[in-house]
Chains A and B, each alone.
Chain A
Amino acid sequence: MVEKTPLLDFFTYAFLMLGIFIVGFPIIYSLIAATLPLEEVSKVPMPLIPGDQFMVNMKEAWSRGDLGTQIMNSFIMASGITFGKIVVSMIGAFSIVYFDYKFRVVAFASVFCTLMLPVEVRILPTYEMAANVLSPLQAIWDLLHLNGLVSWFSGNDISVTLNWSLLDSYSGLVFPLIASATCTFLFRQFFLTVPEELCEAAKMDGASPMTFFRKILFPLSKTNIAALVVIEFVYGYNQYLWPLLVTTNPKMTTAVIGLQNLIPQADDLPEWNLALGAAVLVMLPPVLVVLFMQRWFVKGLIEKEK
């Protein structure tokens, strides 16, 4: 502090407390609601003194919402996306930065173009794609009239149908969301800052590219990876539109989508205590990840800007 400003300092702390309170209010309120029985929670206004029904409500929400399965699904999806994105983009960036080949510029440009386009803007065709990942091949097959050829060749009326559906599967939840350029871009930026001498030295020692990657580049990237793990885990866990469409089987539903079923609808009893209890529970994994990996997370967020 440059000079003494006791009044301003007082307001600083007062506003900070207020800010923290406002930011925290929805969750405090939800937590209180989760401890109350139904009669209390539907009182207007709801009492602000916590009740003793927390475990009862949580148990009920857990079994009614099938939260165990759903949180597991969310966890698998988030981890899959995180792992997939980081692996795919890291080796991709490695290829772009450390090798010189004709295709390089094309590859980088084509990946770069996808930088800001979220899955939401191409949702319908991506869904069709997920319904049959082999549809491009099928289209080519049909275009070339290969059915006729095969039939002629074998002497039977044979039609070939190429079909691989990702709907209602983990691969369907994960793969389309791996398609994102941000991580590749980030790793590329980072690799460019790695001193060239390291690469030169490795070549001098006769190390293979993969050894260089494993022994030097990977250890150097650890902080970046940690930061991306946090960001991508949160991103994956909180996905909404895509899982909503791609899964219809209740056993494959993710937690954030599944919560919908617990929100009291026009027809139901106003069991907000269950809905909010479940909401707090479902948000816990990514919140914990962010809190415990705060340092890397902040670094990662800021880094993404550059």
Chain B
Amino acid sequence: MSKPILLSLHQGLRKSFQSLENNQKVWESVLADCIPLMVSLGNLAEQSRALSNIQISNTPLRDFPDLEERLRFKLQLSTDTVLEKLNLNMSSLQSVRDSVTNQVSAVVQLYEQNADSLDLLTVTERSSTGPSVSDMLEWLVNAERHFRQQYLRRKTLLQTLRPDDLSLLESAPKRWKSLESPSAEDEIRDTLCKVHFFIESQ
């Protein structure tokens, strides 16, 4: 009797991994798009810092009226543009996270609903072409957690930026980079390799 349930669970897992694969690609490309934006954000912060360090009235540029205000306005405008683009990227990251979370929670729910009819022997059984259900669920949950945490951290970083705190803006690219966790990304790629035969085997 556990056979049809197992089959439907396998089907759900297959679907989740497929969507995970697509989402992973989107995620990576979006993150790659973010890097130049973060660099320019840091540059802009540096320029603002330079602007506040300098006394324009002591330089030959003093003849230009309102130069400092104009420059500051310009810098702020470009900072806004960069942040807007970053926010757009964040929303695509969010959609990746949402889709992964929904997929994974659907599979976990499917398992939980039928947990009574699936004994542990069945869920830990492996074959040469397919990992066991418990392994696959574990990987999915891990990947989901990774996306969730990454998104949350990056979002917090961007949301706590303030135009008046230059040191925060300056350190943003560095902190953004430190959020990367190549090991987790590798793990997801590994996972996708491991389930490759399983996905193909339908």
The answer to whether A binds B is: no
B residues neighboring A (CB under 8 Å): none
